[in-house]
Structure formats: structure tokens, C-alpha cells
Amino acid sequence: MLSEALLVSAPGKVILHGEHAVVHGKVALAVALNLRTFLRLQPHSNGKVGLNLPNTGIKRVWDVARLQLLDTSFLEPGDVTTPTPEQVEKLKEVVDLPEDSANHKGLAVLAFLYLYLSICRKQRALPSLDITVWSELPTGAGLGSSAAYSVCLAAALLTACEEIPNPLRGGESTSRWATEDLELINKWAFQGERVIHGNPSGVDNAVSTWGGALRYQQGKISPLKRPPALQILLTNTRVPRSTKALVAVVRSRLLKFPEIVAPLLTSIDAISLECERVLGEMAAAPAPEHYLVLEELIDMNQHHLSALGVGHASLDQLCRVTMAHGLHSKLTGAGGGGCGITLLRPDKDQLRLIERKQHVQDQSTGCWGGSMRHGIRPPGCSSQLSRVHLRTRASPCRSSVAPSVRCPGGN
């Protein structure tokens, strides 16, 4: 068990193409954001386990002895257990969670307890510790906040229980886990996502774990080779929505209209593949015509997503406002509100871009805009010990001891 505090961080994500289609086995292209979630784990011996989520006002403390006595036999033995709906309901019952735990706050607590009990029950005694998680990512906006949360929890608990080695043991200030350790972090983070979302695709936790720009399909992850630097305007509609509910909407529509919806999903898959091809060409020799193709793909994908039933008036407004300025936008993530992305061309006058961003903010009800440059390959999950060291560079999941531990995939 750790004797020092551990700091872990993991990035959010933007999906370029493949939302919802990826749940049905199609390709998704996603990139890590330079907005991160941070977790601080403090081991102690007071017989308590605490969870503090200051962004959402959650603070819970449990007696380790009481948790130790719980009948958790419903948590199946194995390296990585997949929670069933019945197990999740049983967990609510045994830890006495309130009935309203179906909201995002309750689900965050539930995901923590599931991962804590599942990962730590191999220990002779459940560990006493305090976990505090805070984030630069807005919740429910399609930027992978729950995945970054699950990745941080999985990485910290696996390290605390010595299921994976602490990458900072050599005295480094910041380090990253080895590939096989990241794979285990990703598997457990996916189970946390299942508790929160029911039937997630797995792309969000993969990007948060590995960082960079990824191609994801049915659990298979491959990095995009030398992706070009794209400049993207990220706009938050501030319209809350539920990923679980929107995934269910698409599934229901697919069952009701299979001959209509299945071709839409196949077409979205083709858009992702074409985008991947264009990005590959741009890495070698970017040209203006590449941006024309990327803009067309954005427009087509947005129309397809609206046809799937995951659009929203606020996203339509964003598309109209940016189109009036010669820019092209689409939703990112589950849709139904949340965030939209707008592709910016590198040849545009920066002063005019600032004016356009302000216009988006003024015209799109409840929206804000901000430019983000991700060389489309920020790193992922990383770990640190002790001192909090905020970073705006997007990188993989990482860990640190005083300074910081980064996972592979970054610059």
C-alpha cells in the first residue's frame, strides 16, 4: 500500500467523427483535449475511506470496517469484472445509496464504490484513504468528463493496491505507466464508465488513458500517425443531457427503423474513414483542398447525427451562426446539447476569428466559445505524488509524487 500521496491526471476528449456509430461497431476518431481531470489519493490509517468531488459538491465518508463486512459476493471474482445492471442495483442497496443516485452525482459515487470494492477486495483489508477529484472539464458536455474521472480512479486504486507498479518509484517527479499497466487501467476505467452510462463504446476512456489522436473500433485502439495540427473552436451550449438516454434513443430508432438507421451508421463509418485518409495526407503535405473535404465531412456527419435523433436546437443555432461566417460545425460526444466543434482554417485572419468567436457567443443561446490547439496528439493518463501541478497541455493519463507521472502517447 502507498505511504505517500499520489496525484493522477487524465485528459478529456473531443470526438471528430463516429459518435453513436461507434457504439454499434463502427470507427470513431477522437483526440485528447488539453483540459484535464485531477485526482489526489491520500493513504492513512483512520479506518475511513472518503470521496470528495468539489466541482459537484459531493463529500462522502464510509467506515472501512462497515464496507469490509458488506456482502459483496455479487461482485464476481476475476481480473476485470463487468458490472451487470443487477450488480449495480445490488451495490446501491448494500451501500445504502439514496434512490436519486441515478443522477450524475449519485452515479459518480456509485462508480467510485464499484471500483474501490472490486479492485481493493483482493487486499487482506480494504485500505483507508481519502480521494479528491477536481476537473477543468464541464460535466455532461460531451468532453469525456466521466471517462477522465473513471481513468483517474482506476489508475490511483490499482497503484495504491499494488496491482500495477508506481511509475514514480525511481524518484522521478513525473512519469507514465508501462503499456501493459495502461491496458489494465483502461479495462477498469471502462467498467466505471459502464456503471455511469450503461452501454458506453469505450472510446472516451481509451482516449483519456492513452492520450493523443486515436482510431477506435470495437475495443481496438490505434494511434493516428503524425496527425496534423488542427485548430478547433469548442463551444459549450450549456444544455445538459444524458449520454445513457441519447444512446438509448439511437438504439430505439435502429430497432424501429433498421433499414433507415443502419445505412446512416454505415455512412458515418465511411465519413470517419475518409477523414482518417485526409488527415494522413495532411500529415505529409497539407493543402487548402484538404480543409474543403474536412468541412464537407463535418456538414454531412452533423446531418446524419440529427437524423439519428441526437441533435438539439442549440447545436442547430451554432451551425447556423458559424456557417454565416464561412465556418463548419458539428456536435461532439452524445449530442442533445453539450458541446460542438468548429473547424478553423489556418489561413484565417486571427482578429476576424476573435470577432467570430464573440459572435458565436452572442448569437448561440447560452454558449461560450474558445479556441483550442491540439497538435491532435496531447498525452493521456499520468501520476504524481503529493503537490498538485496543473497543466494545460493535453497529455495521457499520468501520475506523480510531487511533480508529475505521465502515460505514453504525448509529446
Is 222 one of the annotated active-site residues of the chain? no
How far is Cα 19 from Cα 245, in angstroms, rounded to an integer?
14
Could you say which of 118, 135, 146, 201 is catalytic?
146
Could you say which of 135, 175, 181, 204 is catalytic?
204
9 strand-pairing partners? 38, 398
Taking only Cα atoms into account, the Rg of the chain, rounded to an integer number of angstroms, comes to 21
Is 382 one of the annotated active-site residues of the chain? no
How far is Cα 233 from Cα 396, in angstroms, rounded to an integer?
21
Cβ-contact 327, 233 below 8 angstroms: yes
135 strand-pairing partners? 37
CA nearest neighbour of 236 among 145, 347, 355: 145
Q: What is the 3-state secondary structure (H, E, C) of the chain?
A: CCCCCEEEEEEEEEEEECCCHHHHCCCEEEEEEEEEEEEEEEECCCCEEEEEECCCCEEEEEEHHHHHHCCCCCCCCCCCCCCCHHHHHHHHHHCCCCCCCCCHHHHHHHHHHHHHHHHHCCCCCCCCEEEEEEECCCCCCCCCHHHHHHHHHHHHHHHHCCCCCCCCCCCCCECCCCHHHHHHHHHHHHHHHHHHHCCCCCHHHHHHHHCCEEEEECCEEEECCCCCCEEEEEEECCCCCCHHHHHHHHHHHHHHCHHHHHHHHHHHHHHHHHHHHHHHHHHHCCCHHHHHHHHHHHHHHHHHHHHCCCCCHHHHHHHHHHHCCCCEEEEECCCCCCEEEEEECCCCCHHHHHHHHHHHHHHCCCCEEEEEEECCCCEEEEEECCCCCCCCCCEEEEEECCCCEECCCCC
Q: Which three cell numbers stand for residue 366?
A: 447560452
Cβ-contact 241, 334 below 8 angstroms: yes
How far is Cα 393 from Cα 411, in angstroms, rounded to an integer?
10
Kindly list the catalytic residues: 146, 204
